[in-house]
Amino acid sequence: MSNAIDRRVAFVTGASRGIGKAIALRLAADGRHVVCVARNADQLQAVVGEIAAAGGAAEPLACDVGDGEALAAAIDGVADRCGRLDILVNNAGITRDGLLMRMSDADFDDVIRVNLRSAFVACRAAARPMMRARFGRIINMASIAGIMGNPGQANYAASKAGLIGMTKSIAKEIGSKGITANVVAPGFIQTDMTEVLPQALKDAVMPNIPLRSFGKASDIAAAVAYLASDDAGYVTGHVLQVDGGLAM
């Protein structure tokens, strides 16, 4: 691994647990300096400590991504302090599930604000240092819910479908500057969120997954690591489904 790659700076939101933590650990293992972003400072510090113990480089940055001004300022600060920003992973997200007729405007708006608008704000802020460097990797975390829908998740599915359309547009806008923009769309992954799902729901889903198992957070991290690498330099505007074949 070259020194230039070793020095690349990655900004990962939602990095305190689950998929985001796995992404931060993998990018650090690949030699990136990882800025781990989330609201919970204690959890972030634990992730950074784990990375440091493994010989990697990382720093915590406590920030509510739903606050657009704070998020943009955080990205600008990292780019100024580090002199670069090479990789952006928009992973942070929330759910406010409910059937259409019972879903409040607030529940719809909150999910769009955190899952979609924050990614837009982050992409816009990160694009500036990436364009100056004529290199960048933008990776937005969607979901198969944004491809095939999911009952009780009109807000969540809308936010993830929006991420897909936005990412494809960004890829066309800034590809000439050496920046790629791609989407990873996970299926059912073993995380804290899926652990609390009713067993009946898990049993109903499993026959529809050709690989007959839920994925691991490391499976998603591996997909992100690929899209963040030089090996994916000619891949942009792509939706990489990591779902065991569920949304074929």
Candidates 89, 80, 81, 76; CA nearest to 10 is: 89
Q: Which of these is catalytic: 156, 164, 188, 221? A: 156
Q: Is 60 helix (H, G, I), strand (E, B) or coil?
A: strand
Q: How far is 127 from 131, CA to CA, in rounded Å? A: 6
Is 226 known to be catalytic?
no
CA distances from 176 to 25, 92, 102, 123 (A): 30, 28, 45, 16
Candidates 72, 26, 24; CA nearest to 44 is: 24
Cα torsion 123, 118, 162, 27 to 10°: value is 60
DSSP state of 116: I
Residues facing 139 on adjacent strands = 89, 182
Rg (CA), the chain: 17
Q: How far is 57 from 175, CA to CA, in rounded Å? A: 29
Q: Is 229 helix (H, G, I), strand (E, B) or coil?
A: coil
Q: How many CB atoms lie within 10 A of CB 88?
A: 29
Is residue 123 within 8 A of residue 136, CB to CB? The reply is no
Catalytic residue set: 156
